[in-house]
Amino acid sequence: MLATLLANRGFSVEVFEKRPDMRKDFVSGNRTIAMSISKRGIKALQEMSLSSFVSDATIPKHSRMVHHLDGHISSQRYGKEGHTINTVDRRQLNEKLIDKAEATGKVTFHFQHECEEVEMETGFLTFRNPQNAGFRKKFDHVIAADGVFSNIRRFMEIQKHTNTEYIKIEYGYRELLIPPNDEGQYQLDPDFVHVWPRENYILVGLPSIGNAFTCNLFMPSDGPLSLTDIQKEEQVVELFEKIYPNVIPLMPTLVKDYFSNAASKIQALNCFPWNYKDKILLIGDAAHAIVPFFAMGMNTCFEDCTDFEKLMDIYNNDLGKTIEHYGEFRKPNTDAISKLSYNNFKEIAKSPCDDYHEKWHLERKIWDIYTHKWMPLYPMIAFSTIPLAVTVERAEVQNKILSEISESKKTEFLTDEIELKKYLEPKLADITQISEDYL
């Protein structure tokens, strides 16, 4: 994406990718097929003139369906009419982005080339190619979007040019599958994201191509019935009989899938600075890998690119200055989504509770009354482009008000709109209206 945006500004770009060209070869690896994309990511694709791809290749979902342990089901709408979370096929999206970059005529891809060495001051990079031969090349600027295990960041760490905090996450996940039924149709309603929240476990199902649901089971890394503990088929069955009995009939290949798809660790990190002078920049997961509990990893990385564009405009297309100042410009927002993503795991786990539902309905009622003054946290993240750091500030104010209402036991506010307005008017007087530009 960023290669395309730079090419559109007149820059010649070379992209070095460790993996083969996925358009020609099957790329192995245990990677999720279905990815969630929301307004921030869609906006980035639209800025690349990929609006038709968004409408043709994504599956919209307006609500999440919560499957409770006792068997009953409840739905929670994500936002208002027209607000949807969209599922997109990872491979299809990546192929489209590669095609778009090449179509500029200014982007060259070098597949199966892994960076082995970086000379910070001179700009020389050494790569290992498919023939296992190394070659060295000089670049004016280097932007490292090489992921959570970034080689560029590692060299910056070694040479004391950045400090990295590796965040220990006590959870991992297994990828599972709910296949189509015997008639070839979805077994669950594809208009929903399906969630099975349990204490210490969350199963999430996303509709994907082929009328199947790609599912991720988030679970503890250690302890009884954890990723490390479960080694036998009967343990998988024991876990699902205990907390997901209604899912077992939907997953005829549950045990096989559990052991054939390797356990995935959840990696998270923060580092700073993201740059070395005006020469080298870390971006995306290389700079700020976040946990997946808000489904905002890809969206955040895409927004990295649109924010990079904003800074390029501010510095009149000066790439060096943009690299030098990008970290301080963008990091408050990535810090915000990093914190929110981890906290959201706890929030999802609470969703079966009565208090959660009461708060959820009250907040939606307030949002209906004060559309441009109040917006719940999740819709701010998923259905607006309000700067992520600002969403945290607004959510803190809103949560304080909700807590005051809860503590005062004013349950009549759920039904009496006049009384609710009287209570809220003075409290919302100083809150800035949300600009239509963000909605």
Give the residue-averaged pLDDT of 340-353. Answer: 72
Asked whether the predicted pLDDT for residue 353 surpasses 70, the reply is no
The answer to whether residues 283 and 274 touch, using CB atoms and an 8 Å cutoff, is yes
Q: In what order do the strands lie in the sheet with 114-119?
A: 114-119, 124-128, 134-138
The answer to whether residues 213 and 205 touch, using CB atoms and an 8 Å cutoff, is yes
Residue type, 204: V
Give the residue-averaged pLDDT of 151-161. Answer: 96
Query: Between residues 342 and 218, which one has the greater pLDDT?
Result: 218
Residue pLDDT, tens place only, 269-314:
999 999 999 999 999 999 999 998 888 999 999 999 999 999 999 9
Cα three-residue angle 257-263-269, rounded to 5 degrees: 145
At residue 361, the pLDDT reads 86
- Helix runs in 33-138, H state only: 39-47, 51-57, 90-103
Residue type, 324: E
Asked whether the predicted pLDDT for residue 256 surpasses 70, the reply is yes
Domain boundary assignment for the chain: 2-59+87-166+267-347, 171-264, 353-438
Give the residue-averaged pLDDT of 137-157. Answer: 96
At residue 402, the pLDDT reads 92
Residue pLDDT, tens place only, 402-423:
998 888 876 677 778 898 999 9
At residue 134, the pLDDT reads 81
* Summary mean pLDDT of the chain: 92
Give the residue-averaged pLDDT of 378-394. Answer: 97
Q: What is the model's pTM?
A: 0.91
What CATH code is assigned to 2-59+87-166+267-347? Answer: 3.50.50.60
pLDDT > 70: what percent of the chain? Answer: 95
Question: Quick one: 154 exposed, middle or buried, by C-beta within 10 A (0-12, 13-18, 19+)?
Answer: middle
Asked whether the predicted pLDDT for residue 352 surpasses 60, the reply is no
